[in-house]
Every structure is written in structure tokens, then in C-alpha cells.
Amino acid sequence: MERKSSEEERKDRKSESTSEQTDYDPSRPNYHPVEHACWKQGQKVPYLAVARTFEKIEQDSGRLRNIETLSNLLRSVLLLSPDDLLCCVYLCLNQLGPAYLGMELGVGEMVLMKAVAQATGRQLDKIKSEAQEKGDLGLVAESSRSNQRMMFQPASLTAGGVFRKLKEIASMSGNSAMNKKIDIIKGLFVACRFSEARYIVRSLAGKLRIGLAEQSVLSALSQAVCLTPPGQGFPPAVIDAGKGMSAESRRAWIEEKNSLCCLSLVLLQCITLNEMPNYDVIIPVLLKEGIDQLPNHCKLTPGIPLRPMLAHPTKGVGEVMKRFDEAAFTCEYKYDGERAQIHILEGGEVRIFSRNQEDNTSKYPDIVSRIPKVKYDSVVSCVLDSEAVAWDREKKQIQPFQVLTTRKRKDVDASEIKVQVCVYAFDLLYLNGESLVRQPLCRRRALLRESFSEMEGEFQFARFIDSDNTDIIAEFLEQSVRDSCEGLMVKTLEKDATYEIAKRSHNWLKLKKDYLDGVGDTVDLCVIGAYLGKGKRTGTYGGFLLALLVDLCNNHGWGRQNKSLIHAENHSDALLMQVYLHG
């Protein structure tokens, strides 16, 4: 029998490896994280394994099954390639890093179409037409790549390699940046196999479209750690701590174990509740120290923003009284501005973050310069929750939110500021090395006033009253509207009065004029156009473009960003289909 050459043997091994990766199925029952993985211990995680996982999740609408599917992939990563866990988590979240670092790909749909056309040799017009027909450029890229034949197949993509390329694209700037981005994207496309092109395009476009929310990723990660503990070495002593159980019993066991050992709870507190919203910190601690050590290493830290606590809407004072019953509560003005989370670091540096954790420090140099003037010397470090509101210095009154939107968004020169702002502080989350989020609001508010002084028109405390008298609250609500505020924020003071990071809590209620029964303004809008739908709305309208006569609104802020200009998110699928079919 003729012996194969080393080159032929290499090709056979490569073909066998490709077949294994193509057949990879993390949704299979009784998944074994070593035997059923499509790569070996010490190898890099193939991007195809991630893509195949996304495929399975996209095909199944069951949340619990999808969590288990993703958990199986992560279990294999934990045992075989733990160094790739961070990039795999980021790929599942479709993020490049913490939100406050502001890393964005900045790749528009037209650029992606050009890259697909150039990489596959197809005409741009045909790419556009097919994308409009399918409503998903990712599917177009996948079909275009599968029909392309190549003399030499590039090296297979790895999860880490794809993630690094995405970060490289995000870091590019300058005149030639777009062409360089296209070149990198083309390089990725050329190396794509099977569904890889679909998910790379979707990642670049900013939407994976597989219904995988961060909460589900966290659940999958905590389940993976629960079943297959990290840091065991190889071969591992524990491959599946729930082995031998039925699927239903297994899920119940995981929930019980997570509850008893606080595994999932600790993880969610550290990440989802955002005392340390940085996977670059969380994942290494998870791998090296174990999940039980997360609270000791991942604490609230000035300079790293938290996701803010949010309020539930309510329709009247009566509902507030019913909700809080005998609990003590306070009523604060609800200022119509931009959420400003102000951090003072130990060295004296001041950082400002938005509600979405974006770094707004360069947007508000005026606020940065005034903070040292209003804090007492006892304050070494802290985190404030506040609202930045447009302020008229001559009239000494609050201006509409639309005025604030005209202010430059970044790299503002303090000498050129035309729209002045006043900071209204209403909460203190951290002070001199101590997290206050588990302290009641009455304590946090007292510390806030002991730590800062007011400066009219620049830094003031949110106006409030502590009363359970319906008439007094109703009058305070009317006064807030007369003072150019949106209404009131009603908050528990002592019982259930902790600061619930990243949560829309019933312990905070917002009482706005627009929410009250029989009250509120209406606006007449005219439909002047429609957007073709994408994804699940392919073949119908995705949303309407509505117009408003700006003179009726003093020419302030009635652009497409206004809440009154409703887009696809606010239209039901049934309404959009009805208008599309019948006009």
C-alpha cells in the first residue's frame, strides 16, 4: 500500500478538523466539554465554534435551552482554552470592552456592502438588492462567501483573532482609516467558512440578531462555572458536576446550587449590577481566584461608572400612596436634563459619565472645574448621582432639555460654552473608600449634604419634601412643573431604600405630568415616509418617519431624536404589516 506524503497527511488532518468544527453542536444532550468540543486542549478556540453556537441559539427560541447551549461552549473554553474565555464572552455580548471606554466599530452598512462586494467579487448593486430582499446583510455575506471558490484556503479564523481584528478596526482614525477598515474586513471575509461570515458582518453592524441578552450570557457563564469549575488543570477532576441527572433535574440542581452557594448571585451583583462593570477585570479573577472571590476583588471603584438606578412610572399620587403604604418616602424634583454620574478619584481627578456609562468628561469642562470648589476638604474620593440641567444665568432659571441638546457633545472648550449648566445632586454612592449603595437613602442624602456645599446656578441639591400628605404632594408636583421640571421622583427613605444599581425599581417612582390620567400634552404629527424593515420585519415597513411643524415648538429640539418621533421600536408588527399591505 502506497504511503501518503506528509503534505497529504497534513491536508487529511486539516479536512478532518474542518469536518469536526462544521459538525460542532453545543446544544446536543449530555454534552461533554472535552470529547464533544471541536478543538483540543491548548489550542485556540475556532471562531467557527462560536458561529455554530450562535447558529443553534438563533434556531431555538427557548431561553433556558439557549443558556445551556452557550454554557456548553463556555465549559469547553474553560477546560481547553481558558485564555480565550474573555474574548468569547465579549463576542457573545457583541462588545469590544467596557462601555465607558467608548470603543465603537464605526462601520456603516454601505462600507460593509463594499467590503462584501470586493471580498467576493460580486457587484455592489447586487449586494444591495439582495440585502434589501433578505433584510440581513449577514445572510448575504454568508451566501456570497459560500459560492466563492478559492485556490488556497487561508488559515482558519480563531475567536481571539477575530476579536483582535474588531478592536483594531475600532481603534482606527484619520483620513485613510476607512480604506484600512475595509481591507481588514475583506481579510476576515476571505478566511470565513460556513456561517462565520454571517456573524462577523452582524458583529460589525452592531447587531447579532440571535436574541442573546447580557443577562443570558451571565446566566450561561455562571452555569458553566457551576458545572465545570475553572482552574482545575488538565485532565480535569470535575467535568460535569451535574452528571447523571435529567435535564429538568439538572436545571433545578443548578438553580439550587447557585442559590445556596450564591454563585450566580455574586456574579450578577459584580457585573450586571455593575459594582465592577468590566469583564477585563471580572474574567481573570473568575479564572484565577474562583467565583466566590469576586466580591473581594471586584468592588465599586471611582473612575469606573455604574449603571444607574431607574424609576417606574406611576399615574397619580394615589398610586404612590398605595405602593409605599406605611413606608417613609421623599419627593424630589425630577429635573429635565442629562444624568451625570460624577466621580472624584483619590488624586483629585474628576470624571463624568452618562446614563449609558459613556465618558462625558470632555463634554462638561465647566462641571469638572467647579467640583473642587463645592466639595469639602474631607472628601478624598466619591461617586455622585446627579442631573446636568441647562441654566439661564440672567433669569436664574432652568431651561428646557432641548436647549441642553444644542451643546457640543465632546472636546468642549470651556471658554466657548454658550449653554450653561447647573448640577442638581441627589445621591451619593461612594465616599472615601466606602460603598454606600447598601445604605438607606436617608443616610446617603445626609452624607451628600455633609460633603458638599451649594453654589447657585452651578451646584445645587435636588429640591425635596418628606411628606405623606396627598394635598401637599399634589401641590409640590404642580410647583415642580412651574419650576420647569418634569415632575417628581418619589423614593423610599429607610425601608427598602438601598441604591439598586442597573435596576428599574419600584422603590423609586416617577410622577410626571405626561403620565397622569387625563393630563399631558399631545402633538399632531404627519407621516411623510417609511423605512423598509430588516430582520423579522423584512418584507414590510420597519418604522415611519413623522414630521412636525417646528414653529409650534419654538424651534427647539424637535428632531428625529425626540421621543415624539416614533420609530420601529414603538410600532407593533401588526400595525406595520397592516399599513404595508393596505396603506
How many whole angstroms from its chain centre is CA 401?
24
Percentage, residues of the chain above pLDDT 70: 82
Q: What is the dihedral of CA 504, 508, 511, 514, to 10 degrees?
A: -10
Residue 348 DSSP symbol:
S
Give me the pLDDT at residue 556, please: 46
317 phi and psi angles, rounded to 5 deg: -60, -35
pLDDT over 70 at 565, yes or no: no
What average pLDDT is seen over the chain?
Answer: 86
Q: What is the pLDDT of residue 551?
A: 58
Q: Are strands 421-431 and 459-461 parallel, antiparallel or unpaired?
A: parallel
Q: What pLDDT shows up at residue 296? A: 82
- How long a stretch of residues is the chain? 583
Give the fold, CATH level 3, of 100-205: DNA ligase i, domain 1 (1.10.3260)
Query: Which of 307, 254, 297 is CA-nearest to residue 277?
Result: 307
Most trustworthy range by pLDDT among 304-313, 508-517, 538-547: 304-313
For residues 505-520, average pLDDT: 77
Q: Is 326 helix (H, G, I), strand (E, B) or coil?
A: coil
Least confident of 108-117, 403-412, 430-439, 522-531: 522-531
Report the distance separating Cα 118 and Cα 186, nearest Å.
7
Dihedral sign of CA atoms 288, 289, 292, 297 in order:
negative
Quick check: bond before 236 cis, omega within 30?
A: no
Give the DSSP H or E segment for 543.
Answer: strand 541-547
Q: Which of 27-41, 77-91, 92-106, 449-463 has the lowest mean pLDDT?
A: 92-106
Q: Each residue of 217-261: pLDDT tens digit?
A: 988 998 898 888 888 878 877 787 767 666 677 667 666 655 544
Write the burial class of residue 576 (CB in 10 Å: 0-12 exposed, 13-18 middle, 19+ buried): buried
| Banded model confidence at residue 45, pLDDT cuts 50, 70, 90 | very high
C-alpha angle 133/55/53, rounded to 5°? Answer: 155
Q: What pLDDT is stored for residue 283 in this prediction?
A: 92
Q: Which of 15-24, 88-97, 219-228, 440-449 has the lowest mean pLDDT?
A: 15-24
CATH number of the structural domain 310-515: 3.30.470.30
d(CA 248, CA 175): 56
Annotated active-site positions, please? 334
Same fold, 21-94+212-297 and 100-205: yes
Could you list the beta-strand ranges (E) of 113-187: none
> Are 354 and 407 a contacting pair, CB within 8 Å?
no
Considering only residues 111 and 560, tell me which one the structure prediction assigns the higher pLDDT.
111
Instruction: Return the minimum-mean-pLDDT range out of 339-353, 389-403, 440-454, 513-527.
Output: 513-527
Q: Note the pLDDT of residue 227.
A: 87
Q: What type of residue sits at position 439?
A: Q
* Rounded CA separation 199/189 (Å): 11
Tell me how far the alpha carbon of residue 324 is from its chain's centroid: 31
Q: Cβ(145)–Cβ(157) under 8 Å?
A: no
Model confidence at 564: pLDDT above 80? no
What's the pLDDT tens digit per position in 164-204? Answer: 999 999 999 888 888 999 999 999 999 999 999 999 999 99
What is the pLDDT, as a whole number, of residue 540?
76
Go through 461-498 and write b for each residue having 16 or more CB atoms within 10 A of its CB, e for each that does not: bbbbeeeeeeeebeebbeebeeebbbbbbbbbbeeebb
**pLDDT exceeds 70 at position 135:** yes
Amino acid residing at 306: L
Residue 143 has pLDDT above 80, yes or no: yes
| DSSP strand pairing (526-532 vs 504-512) | unpaired
Q: SS3 for 70?
A: helix
Q: What is the pLDDT of residue 573?
A: 63
User: Rounded to an integer, what distance in angstroms lies between the CA atom of residue 65 and that of residue 577?
Assistant: 31
Distance (Å, whole) CA 130 – CA 122: 11
6 has a pLDDT exceeding 60: no
pLDDT at 267: 58
- What does the pLDDT look like over 285-321, one tens digit per residue? 889 988 778 878 888 999 999 999 999 999 889 899 9
pLDDT at 233: 78
Model pTM score? 0.81
235: left (phi over 0), alpha (psi -120 to 50) or beta: beta
Q: C-alpha cell of 426? A: 441627589
Measure the N-to-C terminal CA separation of the chain; round to a whole number of Å. Answer: 73
Asked whether 59 and 79 are in contact (CB, 8 A), the reply is no
Query: Check: CATH 1.10.10.410 for 21-94+212-297?
Result: no
Q: In sequence order, what are the beta bridge partners of 359? A: 353
Q: How confident is the model over 281-286, as a mean pLDDT?
A: 90
43 pLDDT more than 70: yes
Q: What are phi and psi of 352, to 5 degrees?
A: -125, 130
Average pLDDT over residues 409-432: 95
434 closest CA partner among 265, 295, 301: 301
Q: Is the pLDDT of residue 566 over 50?
A: no
Query: How far is residue 549 from each of residues 514, 526, 541, 555, measured CA to CA in Å?
Result: 21, 9, 24, 9
Q: Check whether 152 has a pLDDT greater than 80.
A: no
- Candidates 476, 486, 489; CA nearest to 310 is 489
- C-alpha distance from residue 23 to each of 50, 53, 153 (Å): 12, 11, 19
pLDDT of 141 reads 92
| Domain chopping of the chain, boundaries | 21-94+212-297, 100-205, 310-515, 526-582
- 53, three cell numbers: 453556537
